[in-house]
């Protein structure tokens, strides 16, 4: 699925409606430029960062079990990598220099907790919203917050297909974020609880492509009417690691957390990460989505795209000095009202043939008529209805080849509700 911040494809699609595009455009490949032993910053040469060879040697020497390689982030200049770390040092509790190694706190209640939890595979369903890419801007707090909030909405709705695609750009720009300075996690959590977040189409994310802050005034005029608001926030941990508190909170949903990033983290490709070498580069925010006692690790989602880590995810040791889990934020949300969503079709999908079937999923729709429209960004080119309310057929020979947005609708007694669009291509 393609969405603002989701990949380099998002920039070219930012003017289309929120959701899924039906014409496939190849995403930009990571730069093939080799990592240099020195990096240039605005003030001249920066200290040399650890190289891939340095990291691989340190992994072997320390007996660590994770793997390192070239990633979509490791190929970037050190100054750019550091610019992606948007948690102010003052927000890291405790200060990373003072983090004590050792086992996290645990209580007798820990014995009643399961040995693992992973919201990517809960009772056979993946409730975690897709990995996004913050690009070259210190907006990690906004992306971690939006991803956590979206996933909590899915969990509360008990529906992994629910259509939430909220705007990290709105949170970051209207909530006080700055590409160069980042954002306070407390500030982001309170913004979601106080004002809520509109859909991604209201304010598509562009800062990742150019490191230029977006003005809040560029959001859609009806942003508040389109916003979904948290009913509350909690901090299961704040300033101290408490393994039991984190796991107990994770049983209800994911958590935003902060961490200290070192040079070696940029090269992570798999396994259970522990810091082995390299300088401290800055503070970062990610979303914890589970744990594994077998691996003695937290499972987390990053916001550096799928070209980093394990398709954007990583495992990190409970006792790693990065501080994951020492500060955490959770969201409470109300049960969602009626909605309709497309099933089995994602962004960048290609529809071809005279009888393409699309599916619908919804909540509290009753006998509502479900319809769909297809547009090219400026005008509607096709429309249809679902006789069953669960599927419909599109004849792509009736529209020219091209890139389109496909949008579901449901007619309720109170009015028509729209689902998230899907953008892709149609070819006959």
Catalytic choice (275, 284, 376, 409): 284
Mean pLDDT of 239-251: 95
pLDDT category at 279 given cuts 50, 70, 90 is: very high
Reading the block at residue 163, the tokens are 């259509």
293 in the same domain as 274: yes
394 in the same domain as 319: no
Residue 246 lies in a domain: yes
Residue 372 pLDDT: 80
Catalytic choice (174, 179, 202, 302): 302
407 in the same domain as 317: no
pLDDT higher than threshold 80 for residue 189: yes
Residue 5 lies in a domain: no
255 in the same domain as 401: no
Mean pLDDT of 273-298: 97
Q: Is 409 a catalytic residue?
A: no
Neighbours of 110 (CB within 10 A): 16
Residue 18 pLDDT: 31
pLDDT higher than threshold 80 for residue 112: yes
**What's the predicted TM-score (pTM) here?**
0.76
Catalytic choice (140, 174, 179, 202): 140
Residue 19 lies in a domain: no
Tens of pLDDT, residues 318-363: 999 999 999 999 999 987 666 666 766 655 566 666 667 777 766 6
Residue 38 lies in a domain: no
Which residue matches tokens 């730069």? 31
Q: Is 284 a catalytic residue?
A: yes
Mean pLDDT of 390-399: 78
The enclosing domain of 405 has a CATH number of 2.60.40.10
**Average pLDDT score over the chain:** 81
Structural domain boundaries enclosing 237 = 53-332
């Amino acid at each position: 699925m393609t969405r603002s911040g989701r990949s380099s494809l998002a920039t070219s699609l930012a003017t289309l409606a929120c959701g899924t595009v039906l014409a496939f455009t190849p995403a930009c490949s990571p730069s093939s430029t080799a990592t240099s032993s020195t990096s240039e910053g605005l003030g001249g040469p920066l200290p040399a960062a650890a190289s891939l060879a340095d990291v691989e040697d340190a992994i072997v020497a320390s007996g660590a079990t994770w793997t390192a390689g070239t990633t979509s982030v490791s190929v970037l200049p050190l100054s750019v990598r550091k610019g992606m770390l948007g948690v102010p040092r003052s927000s890291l509790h405790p200060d990373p220099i003072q983090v004590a190694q050792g086992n996290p706190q645990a209580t007798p209640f820990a014995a009643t907790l399961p040995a693992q939890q992973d919201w990517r595979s809960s009772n056979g369903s993946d409730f975690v919203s897709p990995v996004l890419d913050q690009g070259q801007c210190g907006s990690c707090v906004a992306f971690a917050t939006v991803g956590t909030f979206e996933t909590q909405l899915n969990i509360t709705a008990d529906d992994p297909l629910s259509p939430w695609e909220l705007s990290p750009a709105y949170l970051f720009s209207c909530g006080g974020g700055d590409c160069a300075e980042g954002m306070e996690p407390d500030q982001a959590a309170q913004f979601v609880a106080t004002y809520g977040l509109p859909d991604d189409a209201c304010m598509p994310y562009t800062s990742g492509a150019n490191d230029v802050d977006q003005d809040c005034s560029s959001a859609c005029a009806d942003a508040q009417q389109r916003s979904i608001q948290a009913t509350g926030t909690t901090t299961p941990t704040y300033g101290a690691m408490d393994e039991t508190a984190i796991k107990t909170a994770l049983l209800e949903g994911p958590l935003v957390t902060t961490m200290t990033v070192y040079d070696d983290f940029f090269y992570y490709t798999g396994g259970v990460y522990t810091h082995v070498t390299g300088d401290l580069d800055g503070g970062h925010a990610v979303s914890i989505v589970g744990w594994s006692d077998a691996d003695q690790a937290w499972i987390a989602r990053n916001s550096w795209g799928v070209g980093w880590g394990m398709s954007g995810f990583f495992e990190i040791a409970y006792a790693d000095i990065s501080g994951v889990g020492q500060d955490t934020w959770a969201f409470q949300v109300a049960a969602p009202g009626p909605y309709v969503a497309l099933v089995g079709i994602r962004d960048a999908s290609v529809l071809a043939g005279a009888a393409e079937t699309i599916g619908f999923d919804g909540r509290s729709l009753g006998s509502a008529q479900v319809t769909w429209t297809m547009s090219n960004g400026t005008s509607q080119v096709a429309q249809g209805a679902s006789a069953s309310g669960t599927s419909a057929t599109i004849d792509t020979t009736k529209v020219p080849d091209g890139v389109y947005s496909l949008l579901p609708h449901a007619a309720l007694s109170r009015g028509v509700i729209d689902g998230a669009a899907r953008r892709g291509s149609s070819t006959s």
